[in-house]
Amino acid sequence: MQISLNITETIQECLVSMMSESAAGYIAMVIIALIYLGIFSVAGLFLVLLERRVAAWFQLRIGPNRVGFQGLLQTMADALKLVSKELTGTDRADKFLYNLAPYFVIISALMALGLIPFTKEFQAFDINIGIFFLIAVSSIGVIGILLGGWASNNKFALIGAMRSGVQTISYELSVGLSLLTMILLTGSLQLSEIVELQKSGWLIVQGHIPAIIAFMIYMIAGTAETNRAPFDMVEAESELGAGFHTEYSGMKFAYFFLAEFINMFLIAAIATTVFFGAWLSPFGITESIPWLGVLWFLVKTLLLVFLMMWFRWTFPRLRVDQLLTLEWKYLLPINLVNIVVMAFIVWQNLIILI
C-alpha cells in the first residue's frame, strides 16, 4: 500500500482497510467536511476576536481581554449567546428565502476553503481549474445577500442588498482580471502547480511591476468583495442602520457575520497563494520541515488580513457612485493595460527568477 501524505488520501487509505472502496470514499468526504467545518468556525471566531483587538489597538482602547486568557474565549461566549438567542424575524418576510439566505453566504464561504493549499499535504482537493473554481464559488455569496435583503421586506435591507449586488458584480471583474494577469505568468489554474512554480521566486517577484499592480488591484477589489470598509456600502451603519442583515437576529445574523470574516480570510489566502508563494518559506529556509508550511501560510495570510483591518479602521467610506467610478473608470482600465504588459513580459521572457 502506497502511503500518500495528502490529507484526503491519508484518510481514505485508512478507511479502505476497514470497508469497501466506495463507502470509504463517501465517509472520507464527510470526515473532511467536518474537519474543515470545525476548523473554520473556530478560525472565523478567532478572526472576529483579532479584528476587535486590532480595532481597539487603532482606537486607543484595550479591547476584549476578560473571557479566557487575553480574551481568547470572548467570541466563543458571544457565539454561545447568539446560538441561545430567540430567532426573531419580520412578519411579512418571504419566510423560505429569508431562512435560506444565510446558508448561501456561509456555505459559499466554506466551500472555497477546501481548495486553499495550507501546505503541500493539507489541501482537501486540488482540481485543475482551481482559481476559476475559487472565484466562481466565492461569488455565490452575493446571492445570499441579495436574497436576505429582498426577503426581509425592509427598505433599508433592500437598499443594502441592491448596493451589494452592484458592488460585487463590478468588483468581481477586477478580482478576476488581476488573477488572470497572474495566470498568464503561471500558465496553470491548478493551485498546487502555481505553488510549485514559485519555488524559483514568489510570483510577485517573478512578475515584478505588473504583478505588484495586480496585487494592489486585487487587494482593493478583494476588500470591496468582502463588503468591508472603505467599501461597506452594504451595511453602512450610519446610512442604513445595518443594511441587508437589519432583520436578522441570533444565529442567522452570526452566519452573515462569520461569513464576512471567512471571506476576508479567503481573499487573503488567495493572495498568499497567488502572489506570495503560499506555504513556501522565504528563500526556502525551512524546506526540510514540510509541516512548517502551515505556519508560513498562516503568517502571510494573517499579515494580509491585518492589512485589510488596517483599511477598515482608518479609511472613511466611499459613496456608492464613487465606488462604481473607482471600479469602472480606474481599476478596470488599469487592469486591462496591466494584462497586456504582463503578456508582453511573459512573451519576451522578462521574468525575474531567483
C-alpha cell at 76: 466563543
Shortest approach of another protein to residue 326 CB, angstroms? Answer: 10
In the complex with another protein, the residue whose CB is nearer, 30 or 60, is: 60
Helix 95-113 crosses helix 21-58 at what angle (to 10 degrees)? 100
Contact by Cβ (8 Å): 120, 296:
no
For residues 179 and 249, the answer to whether their CB atoms sit within 8 Å is no
Binding residues for another protein (CB under 8 A): 55, 58-61, 155-156, 159, 229-230, 232, 236-241, 313-322
Nearer to another protein, 204 or 318 (CB): 318
Shortest separation between residue 229's beta carbon and another protein, angstroms: 6
Q: How far is the CB of 327 from another protein (least distance, A)?
A: 14
Q: Are 117 and 126 in contact (CB under 8 A)?
A: yes
Helix/strand/coil percent split, the chain, to 5? 70, 0, 30
Minimum CB distance to another protein, residue 349 (Å): 38
Residue 338 C-beta: closest distance to another protein, Å: 22
Exposure b/e, 54-85, CB count within 10 A at least 16 = b = bebeeeeeebbeeeeeebebbbeebbeebeee
Of the pair 78, 235, the CB lying nearest another protein is at: 235
- Residue 103 or residue 313: which is nearer to another protein going by CB? 313
Nearest Cα neighbor of 207 from 351, 353, 341 is 351
* Consecutive H or E run containing 352: none
State in angstroms the smallest separation of the CB of 155 from another protein: 5
Q: How far apart are CA 247 and CA 136, in angstroms?
A: 28
> Which residue, 204 or 320, is less far from another protein as judged by CB?
320
155 or 199: CB nearest another protein: 155
Half-sphere exposure of 293 (CA within 13 A, CB side): 23
